[in-house]
Amino acid sequence: MISTWAHLGYLVAAVCFIVALKALSSPRSARTGNLLGAAGAALAVIVTFFAYKPDRVLAILIAIVIGSVIGVIGSRRVAMTHMPQLVALFNGVGGGAAALVALIELGHIESSQTVSGIATAFTILVGAISFSGSIVTFAKLQELMTSRPVTFPGLPVVFIAGLVGSIALSVWLVSNPVALVGVLLCVIGLAVGVMLVLPVGGADVPIVISLLNAFTGLTVAAGGYVLGNTLLLVAGTLVGAAGTLLTKLMADAMGRSVFNILFGALKGGSTLGGGEASDRPVISGGPEDVAILLGYAQRVIIVPGYGLAVAQAQHTLRDLVDELQSRGVTVDYAIHPVAGRMPGHMNVLLAEAQVPYEQLREMDEINGDFKQADVVLVVGANDVVNPAARNSPGAPIYGMPILNADEAKRVIFLKRSMRPGFAGIENELLYDPRTTLLFGDARDSLGKLLAAVKSV
């Protein structure tokens, strides 16, 4: 039994996690929430270290230092556009760690401890699924493998066989908690995780990251039960609940069910990545042409997307908006729930440029205003303004709620090329007579556009 002061320390850490999660729901308090959560995690480690007085202290300290160095260097060097990959890796490490701890704890569980056996089997299986699945999502987002759905003949049969086999091994492990059965369960879990994510492609990958994050949280909670650690139980439950809710919200924003996102490719209905550039004629213009449209507009709506993040053009965009507002132009940013590569991606990106939070308007709030907009400036976005989501039942994004940019009087697209968006399908809005395309890197184009607006 650990002492009363250790329980109090865990209580304080748990409160830190809960308050941090609440603070992370708003860009204004997100930084504070992140620091508070980190402080809670540090407190939990310190309390555990002194409460349990572990053996091999030197080895543990070396591991903590190595992990801390890797974490600090990795998080500082990662680009904003690669943040989802980092989240996938961190999530995978968490799931893998939970599975390893459960495997180690098998030696302390008796066959009569049914509940502990169930929790251990669950942790091993779901932790392994989360680990291997997260590695595949990382590879897809990092373009180490194709972002298109990967299927092969018999995949559904093999996947179902893996699920049935894992359930059978879990039952065996509960009745006979031996290391060999646990290792076999872990191996099958790794295979199931790979098969779960391979058929997912394109814009669906961030949703799967959120789902796997929920899996990791649940494994940590189950691991907390096995270890008799209340703090792990609380923290894991928070992560599991938050990840589950986020997955549901993201799926709703895509207009799809989670089942369809995971298994739609098996029947040809999943969102596809990639796609070839079109050679259809479009109306293109130079910075001076676009500057005239913007300079004489009364209402402008900005639609930021992943291309803005890739080009790191948020500061230049903010300067352009400031210039337009100094001329009396009303400007707002329209934020789609899945713009970028993860929820809140655009909010964080624009917050870096000190964009006032009041100007960031969510899709449901601003969609009715597009009809009054003189110009919509789409910077590096595509799928979130693609009318195919409303008009083309056969399109992979059909049913996904989109920003109503096609209702504006004029639309300007800043694009590097005519290559389709992450969903891999053409956007008919690009060929609309009201649409003008300005080709080039977003930061370079915005810089030229800013100079041209100032000269108008």
Residue 366 within any structural domain of the chain: yes
From 204, 383, 432, 444, active-site residue: 383
Shared-domain flag, residues 91 and 173: yes
pLDDT above 60: residue 269: no
**Model pLDDT, residue 271:** 44
Shared-domain flag, residues 239 and 131: yes
Residue 350 or 279, more confident: 350
Shared-domain flag, residues 260 and 300: no
Shared-domain flag, residues 330 and 401: yes
Shared-domain flag, residues 205 and 101: yes
Residue 56 within any structural domain of the chain: no
**Model pLDDT, residue 94:** 92
Tens digits of per-residue pLDDT, 30-82? Answer: 889 999 999 999 999 899 888 888 888 889 889 989 999 988 888 888 876 77
DSSP 134-164: HHHHHHHHTTSS-SS----TTHHHHHHHHHH
Number of compact structural domains in the chain: 2
Residue 111 within any structural domain of the chain: yes
- CA proximity to 173, closest of 133, 125, 216: 125
**Model pLDDT, residue 272:** 46
pLDDT above 80: residue 253: no
What 8-state DSSP symbol labels residue 332? Answer: E
E strand or H helix at 300 = strand 299-304
The range of the structural domain enclosing residue 212 comes to 78-267
**Model pLDDT, residue 399:** 78
Mean pLDDT within 272-286:
70
- CA proximity to 27, closest of 363, 335, 261, 415: 335
DSSP 380-440: S--GGG-THHHH-TTSTTTT-----GGGSSEEEEEESSS---TT----GGGGSTTEEEEES
Shared-domain flag, residues 220 and 89: yes
Shared-domain flag, residues 253 and 358: no
Shared-domain flag, residues 243 and 180: yes
Residue 344 within any structural domain of the chain: yes
CB 183 within 8 A of CB 103: yes
Structure tokens belonging to residue 398? 């059909």
pLDDT above 50: residue 425: yes
Mean pLDDT within 381-395:
85
CB 293 within 8 A of CB 366: no
32-46, 218-232, 324-338, 411-425 — which is least confidently predicted? 411-425
Residue 403 within any structural domain of the chain: yes
204 is catalytic: no
The enclosing domain of 304 has a CATH number of: 3.40.50.1220
Kindly list the distances between the CA atom of residue 398 and the CA atoms of 271, 305, 336, 425, 440, in Å, as whole numbers in the listed order. Answer: 10, 19, 16, 11, 29
Mean pLDDT within 371-399:
86
Residue 328 within any structural domain of the chain: yes
> Looking at this protein, which amino acid is placed at residue 339?
A
